[in-house]
Amino acid sequence: MQRRKPSPILYSYFRSSCSWRVRIALALKEISYDTVPVNLVKDGGQQFSAEFKEMNPMQQVPALKIDGITLSQSLAIIHYLEDTRPKPRLLPQDPKKRAQVRMIADHIVSGIQPLQNLSVLKQMGEKKTEWAQNCIASGFRALEQTLKHTAGRYCVGDEVSMADLCLVPQVFNAERFQVDMGPYPTITRINKALLELEAFKVSHPSRQPDTPAELRA
Which positions touch a second copy (CB under 8 A)? 57-60, 67, 69, 71-77, 79-80, 83-84, 95-96, 98-99, 102-103, 105-107, 109-111, 113-115, 120, 141-142, 145-146
What minimum distance in Å lies between the beta carbon of 206 and a second copy? 25
What minimum distance in Å lies between the beta carbon of 65 and a second copy? 12
Residue with smaller CB distance to a second copy, 101 or 194: 101
CA 164, 169, 172, 178 dihedral sign is negative
What minimum distance in Å lies between the beta carbon of 180 and a second copy? 19
CA 144, 145, 147, 153 dihedral sign is positive
Element (H, E) at 77: helix 74-84
E strand map for the chain? 9-12, 34-37, 63-66, 69-72
Instruction: Evaluate whether 81 touches 98 at the Cβ level (below 8 Å).
Output: no
Cis peptide before 205 (omega within 30 of 0): no
Pairing of strands 9-12, 34-37: parallel
Residue with smaller CB distance to a second copy, 54 or 214: 54
What minimum distance in Å lies between the beta carbon of 83 and a second copy? 4
**How much of the chain is in helix, strand and coil states, percent to nearest 5?**
60, 10, 35
Give the closest residue to 36 by CA, choosing from 7, 75, 79, 3: 7
Residue with smaller CB distance to a second copy, 1 or 69: 69
What minimum distance in Å lies between the beta carbon of 130 and a second copy? 11
Residue with smaller CB distance to a second copy, 114 or 185: 114
Residue with smaller CB distance to a second copy, 74 or 191: 74
